[in-house]
């Protein structure tokens, strides 16, 4: 946030006031709260960034929207599709800004990829391939493995490949999901999706296997590759038969979150309620895909988890 002009980090909240104080002191943040309900009542704050485990997104984002704040909410927007629909409904009714923090979409090389596709650089898209596999130690209490905290590979990592494909070709008309569960959540998921235009996508997420986190968009006249890590690419390669590969690179000033923060600033200052690059309808389409894949894999979250 601090890399983006015009952004001030004013306050932080935790469930525990000492932890909030320690975080604020470590990062030079002027105010801290021991309950997010206090933070969202702070009149100095324009935008609330929700970065709790997935299972906390709905309550915090909802309360912040109802308190009149703009909200940037970590991915996935919520655990369940129903909660996402409700949250989007609240934002629209309030006329408040809400965006899922799918930061990948604002990376300059992802914007460039979209432009190349629009310009026909690879002809018509045929297929999309994207993987996100990271090996995490098994710990049934950790948010990644705990159903009560919205655990599983799809919601945490699979959301990136699914959102990437959605950005390019929209919502699938059908999908088949295979995978394996551990502690009731998906440790690994492989998805084959078909889109109305006949395009297909092969997407993968895993908490148990390392897999090169790259993406490829294949077209009739060539292909574009985002070598690892496609969720914050620093390289793009355009390959076309009979032509020299075109390679473009990006130097990130920070971790790559800055472009998304700049987008939120711009939209909020303009009085807009959504980002055209990460609109809420896209988030809902991604949630429908996640929800169907989880259903096929047999993952069910406790009723209390939204």
Ligand X SMILES: NC(=O)c1ccc[n+]([C@@H]2O[C@H](COP(=O)([O-])OP(=O)(O)OC[C@H]3O[C@@H](n4cnc5c(N)ncnc54)[C@H](OP(=O)(O)O)[C@@H]3O)[C@@H](O)[C@H]2O)c1
296 φ/ψ angles, rounded to the nearest 5 degrees: -65, -35
Does residue number 149 form part of the binding site for ligand X (CB under 6 A)? yes
CA-CA distances (angstroms) from residue 245 to 2, 120, 146, 222, 223? 36, 16, 44, 10, 10
Q: Scanning residues 155 to 184, which ones bind ligand X (CB under 6 A)?
A: 156
> Which lies closer to ligand X via its Cβ, residue 156 or residue 292?
156
Q: How far is the CB of 219 from ligand X (least distance, A)?
A: 28
Whether residue 229 is preceded by a cis peptide bond, meaning omega within 30 degrees of 0, is yes
Does residue number 143 form part of the binding site for ligand X (CB under 6 A)? yes
- Active-site residue among 62, 75, 93, 211? 75
Interface mask toward ligand X for 44-63; x: CB under 6 A: -------xxxx-x-------
Q: How far is the CB of 275 from ligand X (least distance, A)?
A: 15
Q: How far is the CB of 60 from ligand X (least distance, A)?
A: 8
What is the number of the residue whose Cβ is closest to ligand X? 14
Interface mask toward ligand X for 79-118; x: CB under 6 A: ----------------------x-x---------------
Contact 72, 103 (CB under 8 A): no
Instruction: Name beta bridge partners: 248.
Output: 236
Q: Where are the alpha helices (DSSP H) in the chain?
A: 17-27, 36-39, 54-66, 81-94, 108-118, 153, 159-169, 258-269, 280-297
Contact 206, 188 (CB under 8 A): yes
Interface mask toward ligand X for 2-31; x: CB under 6 A: ------------xxx--x------------
**Largest distance between two CA atoms of the chain:** 62
Q: How many residues belong to the site for ligand X (CB under 6 A)?
A: 16
Burial class (CB in 10 A: 0-12, 13-18, 19+), 89: exposed
69 is catalytic: no
List residues with catalytic annotation: 75
Chain residues binding ligand X by CB under 6 A are: 14-16, 19, 51-54, 56, 74-75, 101, 103, 143, 149, 156
């Amino acid at each position: 946030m601090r890399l983006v002009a015009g952004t001030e980090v004013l306050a932080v909240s935790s469930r525990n006031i000492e932890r909030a104080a320690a975080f604020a002191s470590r990062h030079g943040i002027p105010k801290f709260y021991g309950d997010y309900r206090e933070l969202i009542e702070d009149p100095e704050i324009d935008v609330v960034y929700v970065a709790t485990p997935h299972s906390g997104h709905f309550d915090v984002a909802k309360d912040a929207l109802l308190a009149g704040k703009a909200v940037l909410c970590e991915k996935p927007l919520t655990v369940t599709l129903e909660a996402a629909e409700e949250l989007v409904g609240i934002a629209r009714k309030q006329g408040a800004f809400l965006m899922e923090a799918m930061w990948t979409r604002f990376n300059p090389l992802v914007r460039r990829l979209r432009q190349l596709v629009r310009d026909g650089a690879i002809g018509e898209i045929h297929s999309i391939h994207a993987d996100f596999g990271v090996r995490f130690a098994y710990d049934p209490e950790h948010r990644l493995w705990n159903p009560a905290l919205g655990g599983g590979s799809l919601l945490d990592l699979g959301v990136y490949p699914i959102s990437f494909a959605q950005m390019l070709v929209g919502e699938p008309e059908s999908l088949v999901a295979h995978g394996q569960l551990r502690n009731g959540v998906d440790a690994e998921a492989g998805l084959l999706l078909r889109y109305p235009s006949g395009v297909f996508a092969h997407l993968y997420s895993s908490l148990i296997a390392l897999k090169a986190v790259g993406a490829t968009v294949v077209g009739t006249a060539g292909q574009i590759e985002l070598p690892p890590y496609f969720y914050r690419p620093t390289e793009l390669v355009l390959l076309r038969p009979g032509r020299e590969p075109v390679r473009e690179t990006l130097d990130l000033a920070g971790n790559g979150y800055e472009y998304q923060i700049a987008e939120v600033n711009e939209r909020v200052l303009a009085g807009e309620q959504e980002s055209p690059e990460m609109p809420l309808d896209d988030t809902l389409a991604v949630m429908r895909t996640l929800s169907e894949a989880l259903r096929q894999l047999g993952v069910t979250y406790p009723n209390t988890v939204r």
